[in-house]
Amino acid sequence: MGSGETMLVAMTVNGKAVSRDVDPRTLLVQFLRDNLRLTGTHVGCDTSQCGACVVHIDGNAVKSCTILAVACESSAVTTIEGLAAGGTLHPMQEAFREHHGLQCGFCTPGMIMTAVDMVNRRGPDLDEHTIREDLEGNICRCTGYHNIVKAVAAGAQAMGETAFKQAAE
Amino acid sequence: MYAFTYQRPTSLDDAMAMLGDGDAKLLAGGHTLLPTMKQRLAAPSALIDLGALRDQLSGVTEEAGGVTIGAMTRHGEVAEDPIVKRVIPALAAMASVVGDPAVRSRGTMGGSVANNDPAADYPAACLALGATIRTTKRQIAAADYFTGLFETALEAGEIITAIHFPKPEKAGYEKFRNPASRYAMVGVFVAKTAEGVRVTVTGAGANGVFRAQDFEQALAANFSADAIKAVKMSPDGLNSDIHADAVYRAHLIGVMARRALDKANI
Ligand SMILES: Cc1cc2nc3c(=O)[nH]c(=O)nc-3n(C[C@H](O)[C@H](O)[C@H](O)COP(=O)(O)OP(=O)(O)OC[C@H]3O[C@@H](n4cnc5c(N)ncnc54)[C@H](O)[C@@H]3O)c2cc1C
Ligand code: FES
Ligand code: FES
């Protein structure tokens, strides 16, 4: 294959199998936004520092602006659009609304995907220090972080309760 | 980003053969290479993605009392690995402060050591612990491996497969993060090893990672923060930039070394 040619990539995005012909240069975030029209994942920088582009690949939070789409062959990707179940917000999304964890909302998809990953890795009981440390790679220009930290703590608790209810059912 | 061809070899032999071609480059986690390509500071003709070799090239094993870590092992995996945490907890702690959680779930040890960024964390750990870099061609002692800014002893077509870290008697790492990039403005790894005391510094040297030998001498008899209180680090050969001048960096090296020693002695 020579430079400038496209190649076929296939992956699962929010539970749906997708495949497209792409230029190998296509970043995962471009693939999501431009090819699949999933524009909830944002691009806030070109230095891999802001975290507006965070999605989950095979269950891990990663920066989709720093991964080639073709390198995600056969992976399972979850974006912010894939969190809500039908018309019901995910508990972490609900917590951001409840606690005013956003102002302009630009950083919010990345914040929420990072927060959900934090709970998956560490469980629902998160102290303020841990939350602030783990938000290291997510930059917000509006809120001053205070309400984001509150939202993440509350969302984590709510995720814990949901998991508990599901286990009990 | 300039155009390139993308290849995903399924064996090391294939990867080596593909690397022979023009200015092809390996792609591991991509968390150094892709940002550099976006800025058009690198323009490889081909990317040889090691992704399909992840199973073969990642994971931790206990070996000869120390640990051997596959090149494709991610920073987050090193940080959380039960063997690393038990045998060399300072190495797990070092991996846990590389970048941020998303960087740690993608970036790899091999990529970091191959790149040898003068502000990266792994070079300090490798040099202090007397690590051995294993490649598709040979084994290289860390002391011979890091040769300058972004320069290593790796030859064209050579692939890092794993790194072996001997177990130190005691070790600790402390870094002062650059407030913007989160790389080390100064990072100091201290270790008491079979070869003697090692104090290595990243982020500060104009020529990349180096050993602070005045500190090592002072610590030979007494491996504690007190022993280096009176030792002054010279600013000669240290970086000055908008974040910190050489005098401030020299001061920080002393402070980070003492904190690292306190951690090592817990
Ligand atoms: C926002 C951000 C913050 C960061 N903060 C830190 C930090 O605080 N401390 C720190 O140390 N690093 C930091 N990094 C860098 C990060 O650790 C990278 O993951 C790492 O430097 C490179 O690893 P990689 O797997 O991403 O390599 P890649 O980017 O894929 O490759 C880097 C180079 O190594 C070569 N290479 C890769 N694997 C091999 C191999 N097995 N054998 C031979 N050559 C190989 C590639 O060809 C390329 O030239 C940061 C990165 C970002 C984006
Ligand atoms: S857009 Fe990915 S980190 Fe900023
Ligand atoms: S709410 Fe505006 S950037 Fe975070």
Name the β-bridge partners of B162. B70, B134
Q: Report the candidate in A104, A115, A93 with the shortest Cα–Cα distance to residue A144.
A: A104
- The string of DSSP codes covering A11-52 is EEETTEEEEEEE-TT-BHHHIIIIIS--TTS----SSS-S-T
Number of the ligand 2 atom closest to the C-alpha atom of A45: 4
Chain position carrying tokens 């690393």: B84
Residue of B30, B39, B100 with shortest CB distance to A137: B100
Average pLDDT of the segment spanning B86-93: 98
DSSP-derived 3-state class of residue A102: coil
- Percent of chain B at pLDDT > 90 equals 97
> CB-side exposure of B92: number of CA atoms within 13 Å?
15
d(CA A161, CA A94): 14
Q: Report the candidate in B95, B62, B54, B57 with the shortest Cα–Cα distance to residue B76.
A: B95
How far does the centroid of ligand 2 lie from the alpha carbon of residue B94, in Å? Answer: 24
Distances (CA, A) of B256 to A111, B90, B259: 31, 14, 5
The separation between CA B126 and the C-alpha centre of its own chain, rounded to angstroms, equals: 6
DSSP-derived 3-state class of residue B189: strand
Domains of chain B: 5-52 (3.30.43.10), 58-264 (3.30.465.10)
Tell me the per-residue pLDDT of A67-76, one tens digit each, with 9 for 90 and over.
Answer: 999 999 999 9
Q: Give the dihedral sign, CA B55/B61/B63/B66.
A: positive
Which chain B residues are closer than 8 Å to A2 by Cβ? 5
pLDDT bin (cut points 50, 70, 90) of residue A1 is very low
Chain position carrying tokens 């000869």: B64
Q: Is the Cβ pair A62, B99 closer than 8 Å? A: no
> CB-side exposure of B25: number of CA atoms within 13 Å?
17
Residue of A61, A66, A68 with shortest CB distance to B35: A66
List residues of chain B with CB under 8 Å from any CB of chain A.
1, 3-6, 8, 27, 30-31, 34-35, 38-39, 45, 47, 49, 51, 76, 99-103, 105-106, 180-182
Mode of pairing for the β-strands spanning B46-49 and B24-27: parallel
Name the β-bridge partners of A22. A7
pLDDT bin (cut points 50, 70, 90) of residue A80 is very high
Average pLDDT of the segment spanning B73-101: 98
Which chain A residues are closer than 8 Å to B5 by Cβ? 1-3, 5, 24
- Percent of chain A at pLDDT > 90 equals 90
Tell whether the model's pLDDT for residue A2 goes beyond 80. Answer: no
Domains of chain A: 7-82 (3.10.20.30), 91-168 (1.10.150.120)
The residue type found at B210 is: F
Q: Is the Cβ pair A25, B1 closer than 8 Å? A: yes
Start-to-end Cα distance in chain A: 53
Residue A169's pLDDT is 67
How far does the centroid of ligand 3 lie from the alpha carbon of residue A147, in Å? Answer: 11
Tell me the per-residue pLDDT of A8-31, one tens digit each, with 9 for 90 and over.
Answer: 999 999 999 999 999 999 999 999
Give the residue with greater pLDDT, A149 vs B20.
A149
Read off the tokens for A106.
Answer: 């630009």
d(CA B20, CA B9): 13
> CB-side exposure of A123: number of CA atoms within 13 Å?
3
> CB-side exposure of A120: number of CA atoms within 13 Å?
13
Specify the residue with its C-alpha closest to ligand 2, atom 3: A48
Q: Report the predicted TM-score, pTM, of the whole model to 2 decimal places.
A: 0.96
Tell me the per-residue pLDDT of B156-215, one tens digit each, with 9 for 90 and over.
Answer: 999 999 999 999 999 999 999 998 888 999 999 999 999 999 999 999 999 999 999 999
Query: Is A9 an 8 Å CB contact of chain B?
Result: no
Q: Min CA distance, A3 vs chain B (Å)?
A: 5
Task: Tell me which of B4, B6, B16, B33 to substitute to probe ligand 1's pocket, judged by most ligand atoms within 8 Å of the beta carbon.
Answer: B33
Tell whether the model's pLDDT for residue A4 goes beyond 80. Answer: no
H or E element, residue B244: none
Average pLDDT of the segment spanning A120-149: 97
